[in-house]
Structure 1
Amino acid sequence: MAVNNDTIIDSLHQLETLLFHGNILDEVESHPLISLRDQLKSIYPKPDSRTIDEDKKLIADLNYFEINSLYHLIKQYSLIVPSTLLTALFDVIRLKICINMETYPSVCDYYFDWSLTYLVADSTINYLIDAKHVLPNMDEYFLALFSRIGHQSVCTKSRISYSMSISHKNTPTFFQLNDSTERLLQAFIIYLNNYFLNNHQQCESHFRILNWLLNMTDIYGFVPYFVKTGFPNALPQWISIKQDERKDISLELWDFIFGILYNLTRHWSGVEALNKFKMIDTLKQWKEQYALRLPVVEDDNEYDKEILITYYLAYLTLLEPKELKRESISNVQTILDYILEQTIQAFNSTSLFCGPYNVCEFLEGLAKMVVNDTFLIYIISRENIYELFIEKFLLFNAVCESTILNTIICSSLYTIIWSISFQPEYSMKLKSNDKLISTVEQRVKNQSNDEYALEMKRVAKGILFNLDYLQMDAQATAVDPNSDDNQIKVMVSYAHRDVTFCKKIVTKLQIHFQGDIWVDFNKLSVSHEDDWEDIAKAISQCDVILMIVTENYCSSKSCRREVIHADKRNKRMIPIYQ
């Protein structure tokens, strides 16, 4: 008889029937297990006529059978096997697989697929969404086992190739959002809701599922999958639980929850969705309730410190720049000190890690914080911190394009140096560093169209603008033969958040004013992006600066810099107040 996937699947179906009825070990004539073995023998080694796609489909079917066999056989004997031995058996299976993945990382994909086969199965989904569980039971053992295998395989893959986790361009393909995986993620929410919101008994699978979610959301490209399936809505509900109602929720569980939250905030879609559900308010309430349970950072418990770090990294990432500028240093000073210490340790590590965090994550948090001048001054006033930023800025500029990690680190350092360049007492130090100036000037000349390269080029121009190295005055004196010498030139300076109001002003001005009006959304090719060369040129060439003064304008470093640049050139400035 010719052997193909259909005949093998037929044998698998017969075996599943025997498994379901609990008599797979009964001796019967022409047992399908023997038939399956003989069929597999006939196609191994693989005949030339078989395709890779056929073999991949066969492996998936065999995985499903293997898992079902393991499940039903263990379940059949669970009534006579002591629970301690049953637990030991599951641990042996898990540890064997984990050791295998550590030793041979190439098998991680196989074991992830193997675990996912169980997790997306109808029986697993039905169990996850069933609100009436009697614990302990066999399904819990298997749910914990396969969740753990899944998250361990992802953890191993990420450790070997950290760029997989942080790349904004290339999303790994070993997990994709389809009908089955979308149903799984939604079922996880239901299952966890039953614990967090409906007071179901805590069990190991809650920890293992949260750990699985933590490792999966740690991959930047996967975050939109979790946003789409409802996690930005679920997380605020879990975090809103009152302490006096659920004292059984351990710090380890909070560590998982805030880790997942922080991972979602690393992607713009996560920030947008979480803010829609008012996560900032939820975080403030959580801190008030749980502050007494969490130790102060000076304590020696590193595990608890990580919860606080994760909490604040997520909190500060979610804050809008305007809110962040109003944040008091007293609220974050202690944790900020600790983040700086962790940043130093990560930089000093050959792996660039400190605990679970890479230095790029600390730097991204710091780059967000320095929009607040008080935070910035506090940070760079710390002993050797300014020197550290300059040293690493020069170092990572030299290797910026070698890896995606180096690129992200370099990009964050550019943002930090740009913020420092706004400070008069530090701008002179920056100007006196010839190597730094040369490095920034070279970055401006970079022709790459990469997302990060373009952003660093824009920020580099901002640094040079702040340090008065974008000298456009010579161009300003050039005579345009087509210009009207008597025409008054007006530049409109405004905060980008006020663009709607600014456009109304400009429209009215164009009706009643016959001179030349320069405003970035009419003059620049990319609207609302600071092109510091063009801005410097516009300031130098204009007769009047029209400032649209709003709360956003007053808190904008860029607007402040435009005013300083204009004042140095004795430009007439007219404020318009909203």
Structure 2
Amino acid sequence: MISFQEFIHNYLTNTNKQVSARVLLVTESILTLLWSLSDKLAIISIFIDVGYIQKIIQWIRTDLFASHISDIGEPIVNIVYNLTRDKTALKQLRTEKAFNILMELKQLIYNEDNNGLTESYGWALIALATSDEQSEENKKLILDTSENLYQLCKKTDQKDDLSSDEYHLSELLELLDRAFTNTYVIKHILEDKINEKSTAIQYFTELFLSLYGVLLDPEPDELEERAVKCLLRILLQISSYPEYLKRLTDNSRFCIIIESLANRPKHDDAKRIWCNIQQTMSTNEQKKDMSSKIYISYDHTDEEFCKEFVKELRKRTTIPIWVDYEKVDLSDDMWEYVSPNIISATTVIILASTAYGENTDKFQELSYIISTNKSRDEKKGLIVVAAKPNFNFNRSWMKDLLHEKTIVPYENNISHMAWNVCEQIGVLKKSRIKCLNWLFKNLRRETAQSDDFSNKTLKLLPENDKVYYQKESSQVDDSTDNLLPSKTHSSHSIVTLLMTQTGSVSDSIWV
């Protein structure tokens, strides 16, 4: 593998050598072999270990690749696509900005008029896209590719071994699952109706009912099991849209099978689908526990931020906080622990990030949170916190569900972010105004001129609080425009201001 890599790398990056037809033919043969090897999921770890991901990005950017794309374009693009099927490789490719680099080749690939190359190019873009904005640039290509995937699925599932000459059903369903993270793709596929009923929803439902037995087999075929699991994830995404969920619940046999699987261990996706179905079947509004509780929803790639945030949150509130890493180990049955705590939570805090938007489990979880949100306080029941700097909604489903919510912006000071969240939901252990009243009472007992007293008092002020003064008027205005940062004061003058310059603006206390 290393020798193959070195040969190709020397050929594509050494511009001083004259290109010979024989070397080009050998390079094409090696790339075709690597294309075939990368199609085996078990071998992809070797590609990762010997540095193929970084090298292949370099190869795509060379002038020789562009000039010989008709010969080596299809195997290289297919290798990129095959690597995206592995989570670790996919993460590395996204780190290397593979999507943007492939985008630079768009016109060059179109000019080749090669159906195989165009198809694999579309598959790679679907797998690599991290936002709806990226895929929007290639909307027609991605819609055409997704439609082609759907049609290939319908042809392939008719075979006894679920495979055609080139693809297995599991591969097609896996890619279609990724394509469905784009809202416009899932709507395009599912809006294919006959007599007001989606033929696509019926297809996926019936396909699942014909294959679900694989999940009960003690020794299942690996690819067949993978196909059914991908199919469950597609159905999970469908069930997260209220307008499509009704079509699933209309199929009584489907509901019975999903409920049965949901009651078995290691079927988390079935549990999630069943919870969504129960929301439509329940006639009574879910009742929350009498005691208050905060539920934290986050993506596990943001776990370090989450831990620090929860730590700071607990310094400022006595309300119990439920977060999964403290309660349960990561398992195939997380949802049976998560769902009851979502229902009973009086406040849900969403730690939003790009990774959160990429996680289809979080799409379902957030949809479920929204569906149970009627029992919570409208202003305090759902809080969105940016877990990363410069956060923007990267998926339209996340924007649709959260666009009306106030977002607590990311700061380098997580302590201050936690304070802002506690203020928003009104659960601070000691409010600012109580703290000020306490200081005022103690001021009468101490000597204001004492440096020792002033220093001690300042230490009791809430960390990161800003001190303001009114420029001219002592009356509190409805706008914060008149509140300007004060000049540097001595500790004595700040304490003196605490007695005279306080008020409230937009439900916040200012000093």
Mapped partners of 2:366, 2:91: distance in 1:
28
Task: Give 1:396's aligned residue.
Answer: 211
Mapped partners of 1:531, 1:229: distance in 2:
35
Mark the CA change 1:190 to 1:497 in structure 2 (over 3 Å): closer, same or farther: closer
Equivalent in 374, 378, 383 of residue 575 of structure 1: 383
Return the index of the structure with the highest Cα Rg. Answer: 1
Task: Give 2:507's aligned residue.
Answer: none
- Answer whether contact 1:326 1:372 (CA < 8 A) is retained: no
Q: Quick one: which amino acid aligns to residue 275 of structure 2?
A: F
- Please show how residues 220-369 of structure 1 align to structure 2 within 5 Å: 220-242=41-63, 247=67, 249=68, 251-294=70-113, 304-320=114-130, 329-369=139-179
Mark the CA change 1:440 to 1:387 in structure 2 (over 3 Å): closer, same or farther: same
- Please show how residues 530-541 of structure 1 align to structure 2 within 5 Å: 531-541=334-344
- Answer whether contact 2:238 2:244 (CA < 8 A) is retained: yes
Unaligned runs of 5+ in 2: 194-198, 385-407, 410-511
- Is 2:317 aligned against 1:490? no
Q: Secondary structure at the match of 1:526?
A: coil
Q: Quick one: which amino acid aligns to residue 517 of structure 1?
A: I
Mapped partners of 1:409, 1:197: distance in 2:
48
Equivalent in 316, 323, 345 of residue 519 of structure 1: 323
Q: Quick one: which amino acid aligns to residue 19 of structure 2?
A: H
Task: Give 1:547's aligned residue.
Answer: 349
Task: Give 2:452's aligned residue.
Answer: none
Task: Give 1:176's aligned residue.
Answer: none
Q: Quick one: which amino acid aligns to residue 236 of structure 2?
A: W
Mapped partners of 1:409, 1:350: distance in 2:
14
The Cα offsets for residues 141-176 of structure 1, whole Å up to 9 and x where unpaired, read as xxxxxxxxxxxxxxxxxxxxxxxxxxxxxxxxxxxx
- Answer whether contact 2:287 2:375 (CA < 8 A) is retained: no
Equivalent in 460, 466, 469 of residue 276 of structure 2: 466
Shift of 1:355: 4.7
Task: Give 1:219's aligned residue.
Answer: 40
Mark the CA change 1:340 to 1:513 in structure 2 (over 3 Å): closer, same or farther: same
Q: Secondary structure at the match of 1:200?
A: coil
Mark the CA change 1:215 to 1:477 in structure 2 (over 3 Å): closer, same or farther: closer
- Answer whether contact 1:545 1:574 (CA < 8 A) is retained: yes
Shift of 1:357: 2.0
Mapped partners of 1:292, 1:517: distance in 2:
56
Equivalent in 314, 319, 325 of residue 510 of structure 1: 314
RMSD: 3.5
Mapped partners of 2:58, 2:85: distance in 1:
20
Q: Quick one: which amino acid aligns to residue 429 of structure 1?
A: R
- Answer whether contact 1:189 1:234 (CA < 8 A) is retained: no
- Is 2:421 aligned against 1:421? no
Task: Give 1:435's aligned residue.
Answer: 253
Mark the CA change 1:394 to 1:234 in structure 2 (over 3 Å): closer, same or farther: same
Task: Give 1:557's aligned residue.
Answer: 363
- If each structure's helix is expressed as a fraction of its own residues, which one has the higher value? 1
Mark the CA change 1:496 to 1:470 in structure 2 (over 3 Å): closer, same or farther: farther
- Answer whether contact 2:57 2:96 (CA < 8 A) is retained: yes
- Answer whether contact 1:185 1:229 (CA < 8 A) is retained: no
Shift of 1:517: 2.2
Shift of 1:394: 1.2
Compute the TM-score of the two structures, normalised by the length of structure 2.
Answer: 0.63
Q: Quick one: which amino acid aligns to residue 173 of structure 2?
A: L
- Answer whether contact 1:420 1:427 (CA < 8 A) is retained: yes
- Answer whether contact 1:491 1:538 (CA < 8 A) is retained: yes
Unaligned runs of 5+ in 1: 1-181, 295-303, 448-453, 480-484
- Answer whether contact 2:156 2:168 (CA < 8 A) is retained: yes
Shift of 1:390: 1.0
The Cα offsets for residues 84-126 of structure 1, whole Å up to 9 and x where unpaired, read as xxxxxxxxxxxxxxxxxxxxxxxxxxxxxxxxxxxxxxxxxxx
- Answer whether contact 1:324 1:372 (CA < 8 A) is retained: no
Shift of 1:427: 0.7
Shift of 1:549: 6.4
Mark the CA change 1:192 to 1:465 in structure 2 (over 3 Å): closer, same or farther: farther
- Answer whether contact 2:60 2:66 (CA < 8 A) is retained: no
Q: Quick one: which amino acid aligns to residue 560 of structure 1?
A: L
**Percent identity of equivalent pairs:** 22
Mapped partners of 1:328, 1:190: distance in 2:
30
Mapped partners of 1:224, 1:473: distance in 2:
50
Q: Secondary structure at the match of 2:104?
A: helix
Shift of 1:511: 1.9
The Cα offsets for residues 432-489 of structure 1, whole Å up to 9 and x where unpaired, read as 2121122222222334xxxxxx3xx111111112222699999x9899xxxxx7x533
- Answer whether contact 2:109 2:118 (CA < 8 A) is retained: no
Mapped partners of 1:340, 1:540: distance in 2:
36
Compute the TM-score of the two structures, normalised by the length of structure 1.
Answer: 0.56
Mapped partners of 1:472, 1:518: distance in 2:
25
